[in-house]
Amino acid sequence: MTDTAPLPHALPSSRTWSGIHPSAQPAAEERAARWIPDQVRDDGRDVGDRLHAPSSTVPAPLDVDPIDPDAAWAAFVRRDRGCDGRFVVTVSSTRIYCRPSCAARRPRREHVGFLADGAAARAAGYRACRRCLPDDVARDAAAVTRALTLLDGAERPPSLADLAAAVGYAPSHFQRLFTRATGLSPAAYARDHRAVRAAATLRAEGSVTDAIYAAGYAAPSRFYADAAALGMAPAAWARGGAGETIAWCVLPAPAGTLLVAQTARGLCHVALDESPAALATLLPAATLVRADAQATARAARWVATAAAVPLDPALPAAQRCALLLAAVRLAAR
């Protein structure tokens, strides 16, 4: 039972990159990564305190699987952060290699080449740019991955200072790093995770009071502010959606399909690769109906907004999926 509607801005499929450079050996290691577009400009004057501002323009994916010099050059010119970690840019006149998003002035085209990674560039005699620090791409992604894991497992959301210290970054720098990689601030992600946990606890406990404290809320007021994401009163959710009419539809998403369910109040449930039968199990007392054109269009707008949020392609697939769902819930508020 699926009702699939077109999605205006679904993320493109994964691409495979291999190194191509005049001075490199052809045995450069092939690397695979999901294309998740992002465009960032950066003044780059202070490496430890850079400010990144996402562009409103979502660039088109590169059209070929191996590194195409023209497509890679276009990504380099527009400082496409979505390509960071997928290849490095070498400059023969200075013998350095950079991230595609490096803020430095662009060299002449004939001096530029492209390799799979920093190891290949170093083997070819290049040194890392001290401005964009291309070898830190993997370290940054590992820090964000670790932070997401810590937030998922925390009974109460840690402070930004504690979270940044746990992954080895200064708080202000890590705030920007995390937001750039996930599309959400650490605090916003923690609030969404806590609200999801509260919804699950509410169904298991059947008591609003028990769910509030089991989910880690210090006070009921914060819980009721987050309860808007339920699409119904918390007591109705605890009773399996009793008295509620829920309209559902299934939409395409970057990692599969999304089941999107909503009430007259708004979004009440979103899940990847889930059937309407699962929704009936979650909320057995509710009346489930297929969404009409208006409700489907509303759901498609939420999903399109979420799919346009730039995510670091180096993050594990499971975390990217969780971030997509969080972005849908945020878009629906």
What proportion of the chain, given as a percentage, has pLDDT over 70?
Answer: 80
User: Is the confidence at residue 170, as pLDDT, over 60?
Assistant: yes
- At 214 the pLDDT is 78
What proportion of the chain, given as a percentage, has pLDDT over 90?
Answer: 53
Q: CA 140 to CA 119: how far, in whole Å?
A: 17
Q: CA 258 to CA 190: how far, in whole Å?
A: 22
Of residues 14 and 171, which shows the higher confidence score? Answer: 171
140 with 41: CB under 8 angstroms?
no
- The distance from CA 314 to its chain's CA centroid, rounded to whole angstroms, is 10
What is the rounded end-to-end Cα distance, in angstroms, of the chain?
27
Per-residue pLDDT band at 281 (split at 50, 70, 90): very high
- At 155 the pLDDT is 82
203 with 282: CB under 8 angstroms?
yes
For residue 116, with 0-12 CB atoms within 10 Å meaning exposed, 13-18 middle and 19 or more buried, which class applies?
Answer: buried
The residues, ordered by sequence, that sit 6+ positions from 116 with a Cβ below 8 Å of its Cβ are 17, 18, 19, 28, 29, 30, 31, 67, 87, 88
pLDDT (tens digit, 9 = 90+) per residue, 230-280? 999 999 999 999 999 999 999 998 878 999 999 999 999 999 999 999 999
Q: CA 122 to CA 24: how far, in whole Å?
A: 10
- At 287 the pLDDT is 96
222 with 190: CB under 8 angstroms?
no
- At 180 the pLDDT is 86
Least trusted range by pLDDT, from 36-45, 99-108, 297-306 = 36-45
Q: CA 167 to CA 29: how far, in whole Å?
A: 29
Most confident range (mean pLDDT) of 7-11, 37-41, 164-168 is 164-168
Of residues 250 and 23, which shows the higher confidence score? Answer: 250
Please give the mean pLDDT across all residues of the chain: 80
pLDDT (tens digit, 9 = 90+) per residue, 71-84? 999 999 999 887 88
Average pLDDT over every residue of 19-44: 34
pLDDT (tens digit, 9 = 90+) per residue, 87-125? 999 999 999 999 999 999 999 999 999 998 899 999 999
